[in-house]
Structure 1
Amino acid sequence: MKALVWQGKKDIRYETVPDPVIEHPRDAIIKVSTCAICGSDLHLFDGFMPGMKSGDIMGHEFMGEVVEVGSENPALRIGERVVIPFTIFCGECDQCRRGNFSVCERSNRNKDAADKVFGHATAGLFGYTHLTGGYPGGQAEYVRVPFADKTHVKIPDGLTDEQVLFLGDIFPTGWQAAVQCEIEPTDTVAIWGAGPVGQMTLRSAILLGAKQVVVIDRVPERLAMARAAGAVTIDFSEESVLDRLKDLTQGKGPEKCIDAVGMESHATRSFDALYDRAKQAVMLETDRPHVLREMIYVCRPAGTLSVPGVYGGLIDKIPFGAAMNKGLTWRMGQTHVNRWSDELLRRIQEGQIDPSFVITHRVSLADGPDMYKTFRDKEDGCIKVVLKP
């Protein structure tokens, strides 16, 4: 079969790889109908995440048709359409029983290595480094799904791939980011990053009843998409984020702040951004936490910081004393996709939201390597890329 394969930093190739096979009775094989490039895939493309190996198959946003089912998987039948969550989970361990699927205790097959890095392993993830299991990803013609009797979202008739594809990652990621803020009707919610996750977070905050949503970015197409949904926007390359947020909140700051950027945050005319780039260049810091610092500084006392953006390692110069003294609550983590999937599927069916709004580019899987560069460089108005095997 054909797949997009990681061959090193900034080197994604369209190659022939072995077809997947059933390895465990709970497995299933999915024929991929649609997949996507996620913003967190760019962390792998740019070489910021440890644990990648030459030949790894990329991608964790995908869906398709069940074409083979293991002997101990009564939940799926050949021919069913499914979205596959990016988090692989067993459904039986202590964390899964609590709905904490992204920290499943059994699905990371490289648990020993992950324990050494993280203290405790996270769940296995598709197409996302050997610290999360080294599982082949979904930017391919076929995918083996471990624990497939649990790791799936069944799709009813009448919905297109593009309406439901993002149930596997960015829609529940944005939803969880907003839900864990415990939004009140009087809240101003500030979201850093107007990429795909930021767009889903914005719409989730509106659905959850926020009084005002402010989105911070510098890419015109992203800011325009956010304004179209009802957000107030701040272009951080043109104006002061701190001053504008003060004006919008009568000097008190937003109650809820969400980092939808993660480890590759940018800033202009900022000393701390230059500091981060210098430390990153000499391997003294892995991630750039400009957004985290800014959120701590501007958040209203007793407010909440929510972090759906991916971080991979070590960050420096975090004003933790300010966070402690202001009484800020931190909520973060990979997404517990299936905790939210039933409700979000219902909202799509009822017409409350059509997540396909975020798609700007539709190309074949063979065009994927070029689209990684286009997406990373934010060229051609690119916000979200969908691939067809």
Structure 2
Amino acid sequence: MRPRQGLIETFSSFVKFTEDYFDSWVIDPQLRRSMDRCLKTQPKPPASEKFWVHFWHKQWQTPSKAATGHLLAYLQETCYWSAYKTVNAGFAGMHLSIADLFQIALTHVERILNGFDPDRGSTLKDYASVAFKSIIRDILRQRRETDICSDWALLRKLSQKRLRESLQNAGINSEDQLEQYILAWNCFKTIYVPTQATGTRQLTKPDTATWEAIAKFYNSECKTILSPQATSVSGAIIERWLSQCAQWARLYLYPTVGSLNTSKSQGETREIVEDLADPNESMLAELIAEEEAQDRQTQQIQLKHILTDALGRLKPDVLNILRLYYEQGLTQQDIAEQLDMKQYTVSRRLTKARETLLKALAQWTQNSLGQQLTTDALAQMSSLLEEWLHSYSWK
């Protein structure tokens, strides 16, 4: 797999497969424009990948379709290698490819973004790598169960929590309707006790008499648990409800895969990705300011270390002159009289000491910040050095 180059490609491109393996990176135009626009928002936008992960993750919480798209693009490599390693370790069996597992895992990106906390120190890629592997293997286990179970065996294996989640995932949000389905499921499990071993996965459908017994039990429990005015239902209705519940459970446990590049609807030429919202520029400015403040604090610590180290390499008599001049505020003539030396000697040693410190500061600035040592830059550094020497805690 070719590593992606630059922030724009990293946050706006997606894996293209050929015969189950990575072929190339495909840039999504809308995401590319979005990322390019963000990078141009400030004169000197942050260039760190970590910053943009933090930015888009914070945007995603608003929520934001643009942020979801950028983070989905960002996690492509991590997801691909998780799928690749799972297939090569033999966990996927004969019927699922790297592309299959890759698409399966991507449907759970929201779960990963929910669980990720940037303040804990782990990177999103490290967290997602572990999470993708766990998700893929859990889905494979569930799929093995759902693939070989009949509808009725699957319903008996489901927990009530999983059933409720499956119904809600299918759009059943009415609490009354949820309770109806769950009660019907509980009645089914109570009445239909298979004669085969409880571990069987090919449980046959209940016969008509059993469905009527389940309906009778449901109607009785419904008036007690749900409402005395509840309408009675037949065995055929209960069968239809539970058959639908089994389909929703399979869909929830093994969802179909969507794509950002899917058309919005039949006859619609625009793609979903084209409706991604513009990023919140105020949040970008806030995060940039936050990172710049952190950078300044880090630079100040480094600067203090560089200059303190340079001071430590000066001779004691030169350090004494610097202390008298900057801490006590003595003039060069006063220092010369106190140390019994010529004034021009004091001046020369002060100048030489400043040049040594300025050289150390300039070298650090060039190596760490990448700044060019222009005349203006050296003048600013000289002023900064003077301020620092006046505020330094001399011992």
Tell me whether the two structures share a fold, i.e. TM-score over 0.5. Answer: no
More helix by share: 2
Q: Which has the larger radius of gyration?
A: 2
More strand by share: 1
- Per the normalisation by structure 1, the TM-score is 0.23
Greater relative CO (CA pairs within 8 A, separation 6+): 1
- Per the normalisation by structure 2, the TM-score is 0.22
